Structure 1
């Protein structure tokens, strides 16, 4: 290398070293106003709108709680509730059931049933009166006779106390209130008798040649199925 080239290289190295020292030494650093720096940063960075977030929002406060399994002991089974009227229809005797019925009537069918009991079995034991009432009711359900009590009584040739197809009244006569009470006991099925499935009956003083099955004899009547 020539002397001239060496001198040029040395000058270049010296100049570069001086520039480096000027930029790194605090005494040579240029002070740039802060306003200008903010402006430059604003221009250099993209502007993204900021959405305010509530510091106590549900998103930041939500925490996953560990599952808690509670052991519930089975409670002792209590006794079933007993209705207050459970024993309303339980009677010790037929007489108790009859005595518990009111004498009021507001139904034509019940009036006919009470008339049948009265005219066919007044003065009979309560069991005999009940059997008469049950026989009349059974006929309405059998399919062999009319479906209403009044029609069963007024059927031709069946009950001798019926005249002209009309059921007579016995209201106000002795024994009527008992007949009403017995009719209600039978209609409500409040007492089981020995002739509950009877369809026919006759007085003991007669002996019809029936082929029906005899099921009971109560008071002055014999009952058949």
Structure 2
């Protein structure tokens, strides 16, 4: 009697294990069928997206992209170059600068600031104005680019409603402003205003100037830090 019970228990255990094995196999088959079914339904959609090659130990995974990948190339005018300077004066350097090139938006804004704020000033004064704009863009107090510095509210009187007027591009004054802007942008000539961030005309005395340190006075402008 005891022997029969043991054998019956062993047979029952074997049956349970066998049924469990079929259950697992059945579940895996069902999952595979569902996966293949889903794959067939979305096959067109998958072909239109990324296709990945199978990874292996000997070869890196290759990823194919169905759409174009375009990398922007910065404008040449925006690239700050290191140029050998042999000019004996700022005036001589200005004559060597090509003013017929296509300017980037940033250098254009810088040239416009020079033109409208200081076209009647000597070259040193024009460079000082450009230097203030560059210094502001490089500081942590003002916007990070020339155009935003120039169009910042209540900073430059020639700006109207956030817009910079159109200069006379056929004038010699514009050519000089472009040359000065490119020189300042490339930091090709030292300016006596050093790290100045503010300036005003000599015929006015704004109250904010009392809190500033004077860097230099060039013709009709006084520059401060």
**TM-score by structure 1 length?**
0.60
Considering only aligned residues, what root-mean-square deviation do their CA atoms show, in Å? 1.5
Partner of 2:140: 143
* Deviation, structure 1 residue 172: 2.2
Q: Is 1:134 the counterpart of 2:131 in the alignment? A: yes
CA displacement, residues 20-62 of structure 1 (integer Å, 9 cap, x when unaligned): xxxxxxxxxxxxxxxxxxxxxxxxxxxxxxxxxxxxxxxxxxx
Maintained 8 Å contact 1:135/1:197 = yes
Moved over 6 A (4+): none
In terms of fraction of residues, the more helix-rich structure is 2
Partner of 1:173: 171
Q: Is 1:194 the counterpart of 2:220 in the alignment? A: no
Match of 1:91 among 81, 87, 101: 87
5+ residue gaps in structure 1? 1-85
Structure 2 Cα separation of the partners of residues 128 and 99 of structure 1: 17
Structure 2 Cα separation of the partners of residues 88 and 96 of structure 1: 14
Match of 1:158 among 136, 155, 161: 155
Partner of 2:180: 182
Partner of 1:108: 105
Maintained 8 Å contact 1:150/1:167 = no
5+ residue gaps in structure 2? 1-81
Partner of 1:222: 222
Structure 1 Cα separation of the partners of residues 199 and 83 of structure 2: 33
Match of 1:206 among 198, 204, 207: 204
**TM-score by structure 2 length?**
0.60
**Equivalent residue pairs, number:** 140
